[in-house]
Structure 1
């Protein structure tokens, strides 16, 4: 698969992850009374799992990780964890600079997600789904 198509599919997965992430964070703040900071501690891993499901079936369908399903998910979570730190760091800075975003964390989530997207694609492509699938 061409890199441009792979990147496009990865970005679709990113949009799915963003909707999950921002939706959970916003719901926890609005209806659960959670802090904008703590809401992301739940929303990020759920969103990362959603993006893993999409990317393993769509973006990297022609590649394999050579791992069991659970091991692949753990590896994905570890790799995306580094991107999540970039994402959360950007998010926290946006909350500090724009206090109004504490009520609207979905907006700050978008900023963090955009900054982390290229980093996450690179680590997924170069470190997890690096081998072409072989026909069995």
Structure 2
């Protein structure tokens, strides 16, 4: 159980890092480079998800293996995180549709979506990609 708690904590740390990268890049592309905010989310998501893959591979799930090459592992990670992104947006949209006050406070909906998606992403990464313990040396 201690190992699971450690993994959850490290996944959260990596997720916060990914969030900082994602929001920083999207804000920079929109604010400084004049990109369309919808288009700017594509590279910001790809870079942030790449960071969270690297973090999870080296820290969160350091005691587990995926049995894939790094490139195949990254592609699988991106697919899993895309599912989480869809869950995130779905929760966000559902909350905004049902609670009109959140139109003035969309960050609350975004935060709720992020929390739900984090659980989905962690469960998917742990049970699907990094499901095998590393052999002891």
TM-score, normalised by the number of residues in structure 1: 0.82
Per the alignment, residue 116 of structure 2 pairs with 115
1:28 equivalent to 2:46? Answer: no
C-alpha RMSD of the superposition: 2.6
Q: Which stretch has the larger CA shift, 108-117 or 56-65?
A: 108-117
Q: What are the within-5 Å matches in structure 2 for residues 33-112 of structure 1?
A: 33-90=34-91, 98=103, 110=111, 112=113
Change (3 A) 1:44 1:107: farther
Contact 1:89 1:112 in 2 (8 A): yes
Structure with the bigger RCO (C-alpha within 8 Å, sep 6+) is 1
Name the SS of the counterpart of 1:41 in structure 2.
helix
Number of residues of Structure 1 aligned to a counterpart in Structure 2: 132
Change (3 A) 1:94 1:25: farther
For residue 83 of structure 1, report the CA deviation from its aligned partner: 0.7
Distance 1:126 1:22 in 2: 28
TM-score, normalised by the number of residues in structure 2: 0.81
> 4+ residue stretches of structure 1 with deviation over 6 A?
92-96
Change (3 A) 1:114 1:79: same
Gaps of 5+ in 1: none
Name the SS of the counterpart of 2:60 in structure 1.
coil
